[in-house]
Structure 1
Amino acid sequence: MTPPPDGVMSEADLVVDVRAQVAQALAGHAGGGPLPAAERRRLAEQYTGEALDAHARQALDAGRAPLSASAEARVARAVLDHVVGAGGLQQLLDNPEIENVHANGADEVFIRYAGGKSEVGPPIAESDEAMIEMVRALATEAAFGDDFSGHGEERTFDRTNPVLDLRLRDGSRLCAIMSVAKRPALSIRRPTMINADLDDLVAKGTLDEPLCRVLQAAMRAKLNIIFAGGTNTGKTTFARAAARAIPPHERLITIEDSYELELHDAVAHPNVTALQARRVNLEGVGAVSMAALVRTALRMDPDRVIVGEARGDEVIDLLKAMSQGNDGSFATVHASSSAQAFTRLMMYAVQAPERLTFEASAMLIAESLHLVVHLNWSPDKTRVVSSVREVVGFDGRDVMSNEVWRPGHGQRAVPNTPLRTETLDRLEAAGLDPRVIDRVGW
């Protein structure tokens, strides 16, 4: 880069200059091949420091004051974010309070925080073209894995593959598009409350303490549960928190389109096998469906089969697993109400290759499920449990259920119809204090 006439380079120009130097040095060191992530970061920090030292010496030789320590730190951070991080996204990803990031082009950025607050964010790249290159760099890293061992999936992002979905190193989910929109766009969903249990959600106002105790007992009693709700209502977070009540000796197998549940824990859940569906590769082969993974999971001696999000023909295999001995299994489903969850499951079942009738689907659901827990947004932007249904049978095409908790003020669940005696007996056998039932207030 040619310096300006007065010899003073702006911070932004210095970032571009140092970034180019570091990228060139890394390319020469790697010899054309990928470097392990830790080694790449170490070298990037070394080359950045050397470039900034050289810039400081040039300033002193020219009789100018070098960069201040704070300015040099800002330049180094910006360079490393682009070379070994997520570019202009990195500072947003480093903020634990940020829950979602949406970019409609490089400079139209919108941020949503965990508490529900939304605001406009800073640009994430110098241009739309730079944004596309940033996404491609993230895709390359995902393809090689954190250690560049080559165990990831092939990910391309171009006009022939204009939709990209991948998991970032911190567990965030990124979905990016190009050429099918006027400008490239991306959305990032951050994992929240990874280590939370239902008691933590009580503290956040998601549900009250008696309902918390009932659901914890339901998990211990191995009731089959669907966690339903609309987009971004916290279904995965709630399912993960509910799973904390599962005894640690049980073997869990999770099936997801993208890893999000993250149930493995050396103490709480040491025996977890996480499976992820796979799309076709660049040659158009190699796909592994969710339904195939559910069937595979059943051959791996699970105590529980857990589907991160049921939205296709894997529903039939999941329901069969629930009704054939894998009690305590659960899944999440997109639905606008607890009652609509049954309709969703039936639609997936009748559209599956088995082509179940509505009557057969209703019977399978009734014989498999025990509870549906529905989540919603309250007017104060809190995610809340709004409804709980107990499945009691089927009648023709209809799944029969009792809404034991219904939406009350602010969409928060309030007691409605008591659970059946046999269900209460099962919960008490799993450790539910009978006095909790009195506190529910049915």
Structure 2
Amino acid sequence: MNSQRRPVDHSLVKRFRQEVGDRLAHQRRLDQASGVPPMSGEDERQFARALIAQVLEEHARSEIGVGRTPPTAEEEEALAAGIHAALFGVGRLQPLLDDPDVENIDINGCDRVFVGYADGQEIMHDPVADSDEELIELIQILAAYSGLSSRPFDTANPQLDLRLPDGSRLSAVMDVTVRPALSIRRARLGKVFLSDLVGNGTLTPELGRFLTAAVAARKNIMIAGSTNAGKTTLLRALANEIPPHERLITVERALELGLDQFPELHPNAVAFEHRLPNAEGQGEITMAELVRRSLRMNPSRVIVGEVLGDEIVTMLNAMTQGNDGSLSTIHANSSMEVFNRIATYALQAEERLPIEATHMLIAGAIDFVVFIEKRNDYHRGGTLRRYASSVREVTGCDGRVLSSEVFAMAGDYLVPHAPISCADELAAHGYDPARGAWR
């Protein structure tokens, strides 16, 4: 009869992580004292693997020495993976992030873990830490090493947003909730193209052709939708239609897009990230400042990851000053609501633009709004579905933005709905609206 594999002993993982970390730090100090150049990230990971093997071998000898059964080869492998994840990854969260079917992870304290899967199923998972304090420590480690600068997560800074090494987005809070809480939204589609979104049903083939031409024609596109509807994924896919010779500058609150991670697609890309103030309240670089700075960096296009505040006026001004082909996302409940949402953000900006002036600015800046929805029918026997449900073309301004819904839902399918005023420009880039059937 085969013996069953014992579950990973997380107390051992924690102990060995500390031990390997201490040995790693000792080696760094020795290298520095000897004038040896510091190890690269990959070299340090390889060295850590050797240290982990060494520590586990010492542990096995110790267990045999006191008459206990040492870990099996499988158990040692699991321990090694756990230690490495605790050092360089996300601890017990790593298996969830390694699972290609996991879509979202919501944690309400160390032992209240809810996992959403790509098919729409949601289940409760095992604890990811032994205590809330350990969970906070894990988040603090991630905050220290993710992003362009270390981000604090403590009583004085109880909110955190960052991009994990695999591209997933983490949002965490503490002290404003009874227990620390975090949500991770997986980046399941990293290098994604419009053809992929056509293939999985997010876009219709007709809309895929339209968007390809719109990007090539350097149209300014705003992607709208609710939280987790797929806005960032669509933004990545649109950006990946941009020719590689163009210089891209992305501006984000927390690095998410990762366009600079694919030099074969975007060899000339620069990622800007909002910098928070230090403990003395100094050193902050706001989104609006970064958008202004990006315009001085010779961009072919500026991509603002998500508009959430006063940077909207700066971005719209940039779109009207020759920076065509810009892309961005915004939270909204419909394609039509986008214009009022932008106007609301503009009222918060230091420019304090009145509604009418904002609508004039929108009309001169944005060419198309693409609205994307999410529907989870898992509990009714269906699955989780994301799909573009509306495309609106901005056609002018008469006190308020004038627009035409050029793609709209007909039953469960998105179809061409109205003529496109810039059809000739799109046709010059390969889009033939005559292939669609106007209603």
Instruction: Please give the TM-score of this superposition, normalised by the length of structure 2.
Output: 0.88
Query: For the residues of structure 2 that align with 1:9 and 1:334, how far apart are their CA atoms?
Result: 42
Structure 2 CA distance for partners of 1:255 and 1:440, relative to 1, 3 Å? farther
Output one character per residue of 1:328-369: Cα deviation in whole Å (capped at 9) or x when no partner.
112111101000001111111222111111111111111222
The aligned residue for residue 250 of structure 2 is 254
- 38-47 or 316-325, which deviates more: 38-47
Change (3 A) 1:250 1:50: closer
Counterpart of 1:67 in structure 2 is 71
Task: Tell me how far apart the structure 1 counterparts of residues 242 and 15 of structure 2 sit (CA, whole Å).
Answer: 53
Residue 29 of structure 1, CA deviation: 3.9
User: CA offset at residue 21 of structure 1?
Assistant: 3.5
One of 290, 295, 300 as aligned partner of 1:293: 290
Query: 2:222 aligned with 1:226, yes or no?
Result: yes
Identify if the C-alpha distance between structure 1 residues 247 and 52 changes in structure 2 by more than 3 Å, giving closer, same or farther: closer
SS in 1 for 2:139: helix
RMSD over aligned Cα, in angstroms?
A: 2.5
- Report sequence identity in percent: 45
- Quick one: distance in 1 between partners of 2:283 and 2:215? 35
The answer to whether the 8 Å contact 2:415/2:436 transfers is no
Deviations 1:54-111 (A, max 9, x none): 3333444455543321122222222222233211112112223222211101111111
1:383 aligns with 2:379: no
Instruction: Give the direction of change, closer, same or farther, for the CA distance of 1:58–1:95 in structure 2 (3 Å limit).
Output: same
Q: Residue 286 of structure 1: CA displacement?
A: 0.8
Cα offset, 1:372, TM superposition: 0.7
Q: Contact 1:154–1:281 (CA<8 Å) still a contact in 2?
A: no
Separation of aligned partners in 2, 1:203 and 1:409: 20
Structure 1 counterpart of 2:166 = 170
Q: 1:247-286 alignment to 2 at 5 Å?
A: 247-264=243-260, 265-286=262-283
The 8 Å contact of residues 227 and 332 in structure 1, kept in 2 or not, is answered as yes
- Aligned counterparts of 1:180 and 1:231: Cα–Cα separation in 2: 21
C-alpha distance in 1 between matches for 2:10 and 2:325: 55
Per-residue CA deviation, residues 200-245 of structure 1 (Å, 9 max, x unaligned), is: 1010001111111111111111111111111011111101101222
Q: Structure 1 pair 274/24, CA: closer, same or farther in 2 (3 Å)?
A: closer
Aligned CA distance change for structure 1 residues 51 and 180 (closer, same or farther; 3 Å) = same
Alpha-carbon distance between aligned partners in 2 of 1:201 and 1:275, rounded to the nearest angstrom: 27
Q: Partners of 1:9 and 1:399 in 2: how far apart?
A: 60
Q: Give the whole-Å Cα distance in 2 for the aligned partners of 1:119 and 1:415.
A: 39
Q: Once the 2 structures are TM-superposed, how far is the Cα of residue 376 of structure 1 from its aligned partner? A: 0.5
Equivalent residue runs for 1:39-438 within 5 Å: 39-62=43-66, 65-142=69-146, 152-264=148-260, 265-378=262-375, 379=377, 380-396=383-399, 398-410=400-412, 412-420=413-421, 423-432=422-431, 434=432, 436-438=433-435
381-390 or 401-410: bigger deviation: 401-410
Tell me the CA shift for residue 31 of structure 1. 4.6
Q: Distance in 1 between matches of 2:360 and 2:164?
A: 41
1:309 counterpart letter in structure 2: E
- Tell me how far apart the structure 2 counterparts of residues 17 and 298 of structure 1 sit (CA, whole Å): 49
Structure 1 residue runs without a partner (length 5+): 1-7, 146-151
Partners of 1:414 and 1:9 lie apart in 2 by 52
Partner of 1:5: none
* In 2, Cα distance between equivalents of 1:23 and 1:300: 40
* 3-state DSSP of counterpart to 1:338: coil
Distance 1:225 1:68, change over 3 A: same
SS of match in other structure, 1:46: helix
Q: 1:280 to 1:64 in 2, by over 3 A?
A: closer
| Structure 1 residue 16, shift from structure 2 partner | 4.6
Seen in structure 2, the aligned counterparts of structure 1 residues 54 and 388 have a Cα distance that, compared at 3 Å, is same
Tell me the CA shift for residue 11 of structure 1. Answer: 4.1
Q: Rate the CA distance shift 1:12–1:293 in 2: closer, same or farther, 3 A.
A: closer
Aligned residues: 421
**Which is further off, 91-100 or 307-316?**
91-100
For residues 206 and 187 of structure 1, the distance between their equivalents in structure 2, rounded to whole angstroms, comes to 24
Q: Residue 28 and residue 230 in structure 1: after superposition, are their counterparts in 2 closer, same or farther (change >3 A)?
A: same
SS in 1 for 2:336: helix
2-structure distance, mates of 1:74, 1:187: 25
Q: Distance in 1 between matches of 2:84 and 2:193?
A: 35
Amino acid in the other structure paired with 1:111: V
Residue 35 of structure 2: aligned partner: none
Instruction: Give the match's secondary structure for 1:309.
Output: strand
Q: Cα–Cα, structure 1 residues 126 and 391, in superposed 2: closer, same or farther, change >3 Å? A: same
Structure 1-normalised TM-score? Answer: 0.88
For 1:52 and 1:83, how far apart are their aligned partners in 2?
Answer: 15
Q: How does 1:29-48 map to 2 (within 5 A)?
A: 29-31=27-29, 37-48=41-52
Question: Structure 1 residues 292 and 44, CA, compared in 2 at 3 Å: closer, same or farther?
Answer: same
Match of 1:157, SS? coil
Conserved in 1, the CA contact under 8 Å of 2:220 and 2:319? yes
